[in-house]
């Protein structure tokens, strides 16, 4: 059933893109005459595709505007911008070295955590409007903080968003984890895994990472086995850790 509907979508999209062969197109148009559901799908998809283009354009324009705001005003020489960046880079490096030296790496779980934990990349496109204006601003600020690795600030902002979808929760979990608040990260990832379905592969992996951080070897092992069983993108990492744990 599911496959059938997906197949329909494929052909509808190819039809709208003008990518059907002459013969396919004739056959499809023939079907359209008799199949009301299919007609409906074509009409919906036309609107949705165009709407997504419009929304994306606005979002992209918005991100260019945000970029503009970070750049020095036109009269200023580009050099000041670079020196600034170098300074920032130096500071980050220094913090990194200090953290590395001071970091108490003890157990094998902690070592594995340090080696394998990376925050999930920000794949969220900037928002423009819609929903609650307040939420859009918060979102944009939260993801900017996330990009800049200011996790404490990002947590604050994510928490203030009133409509928390799985994407928000998932990134909130990442912030907690990056910020060393694993006890808070854990329930968030559990929620993403149990109550939604889009970020499951990822949430399962980060859940395992939480257990590692908590030095709960037994639960970490169980979770990692699930990751391996699901055959997700994290499978190899998970297997490597499992091998080292046991």
Partner 1 sequence: MSPRFSDIVEQIKEKGDRALTDLYVRYRSEFIQWLCGRLGCDKELAKDIYQQSILIFYENIQSGKLTTLTSQVKTYLFSIGRNKYYEAVREQRKVDALKPYEIDEEGLPEELLQKVETKLEVLGEPCRSLLIEYYYHKRSMEQLVAIFDYKNADSAKNQKYKCLERLRKLMRDSE
199 binds partner 1 (CB under 8 A): yes
Interface residue with partner 1 among 19, 24, 31, 48 (CB under 8 A) is: 48
Q: Say if CB 45 and CB 16 are below 8 A apart.
A: yes
> Quick one: which segment of 23-31, 48-56, 94-102, 103-111 binds partner 1 (CB under 8 A)?
48-56
Segment contacting partner 1 (CB under 8 A): 41-49, 91-99, 173-181, 207-215? Answer: 41-49
Of 67, 79, 101, 102, the one binding partner 1 by CB under 8 A: 67
Residue partners of 172: CB distance under 8 A and separation at least 6: 155, 158, 159, 164, 188
- End-to-end Cα distance, the chain: 43
Size of the site for partner 1 (CB under 8 A): 56
Assess 89 for contact with partner 1 (CB under 8 A).
no
Span from 92-100, 106-114, 213-221, 232-240 in contact with partner 1 (CB under 8 A):
232-240
Q: Which is nearer to partner 1, 147 or 183 (CB)?
A: 147
Among residue numbers 9 through 38, which ones bind partner 1 (CB under 8 A)? 9
- Which residues, 127 to 166, sit near partner 1 by CB under 8 A? 127-131, 136, 163, 165-166
d(CA 198, CA 161): 20
The Cα 75–Cα 85 span in angstroms is 18
Applying CB under 8 A, which of residues 26, 27, 51, 90 lies at the interface with partner 1? 51
The conformational region for residue 105 under phi > 0 = left, psi -120 to 50 = alpha, else beta, is: beta
Kindly state the smallest distance separating residue 78's Cβ from partner 1, in Å: 8
CB of 29 to partner 1, least distance (A): 16
53 binds partner 1 (CB under 8 A): yes
Contact flags string 95-134 toward partner 1, x per CB under 8 A: -------------------------xx-xxx-xxxxx---
* Contact footprint for partner 1 (CB under 8 A): 5-6, 9, 44-61, 63-65, 67-68, 71, 74, 78, 120-121, 123-125, 127-131, 136, 163, 165-168, 170, 197-199, 201-202, 230-234
């Amino acid at each position: 059933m599911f496959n059938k509907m997906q197949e329909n979508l494929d052909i509808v999209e190819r039809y709208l893109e003008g990518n059907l062969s002459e013969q396919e197109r004739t056959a499809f148009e023939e079907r359209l005459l008799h199949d009301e559901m299919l007609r409906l799908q074509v009409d919906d998809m036309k609107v949705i595709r165009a709407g997504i283009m419009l929304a994306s354009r606005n979002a992209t324009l918005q991100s260019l505007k945000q970029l503009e705001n970070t750049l020095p005003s036109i009269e200023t020489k580009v050099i000041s911008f670079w020196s600034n960046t170098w300074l920032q880079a130096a500071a980050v490096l220094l913090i990194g070295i200090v953290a590395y030296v001071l970091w108490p790496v003890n157990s094998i779980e902690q070592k594995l955590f340090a080696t394998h934990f990376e925050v999930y990349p920000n794949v969220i496109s900037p928002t423009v409007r819609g929903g609650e204006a307040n939420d859009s601003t918060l979102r944009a600020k939260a993801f900017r903080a996330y990009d800049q690795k200011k996790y404490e600030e990002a947590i604050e902002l994510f928490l203030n968003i009133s409509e928390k979808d799985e994407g928000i929760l998932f990134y909130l979990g990442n912030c907690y984890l990056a910020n060393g608040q694993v006890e808070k990260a854990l329930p968030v990832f559990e929620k993403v895994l149990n109550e939604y379905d889009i970020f499951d592969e990822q949430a399962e992996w980060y859940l395992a990472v939480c257990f590692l951080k908590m030095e709960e070897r037994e639960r970490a092992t169980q979770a990692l086995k699930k990751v391996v069983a699901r055959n997700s993108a994290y499978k190899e990492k998970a297997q490597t850790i499992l091998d080292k744990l046991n």
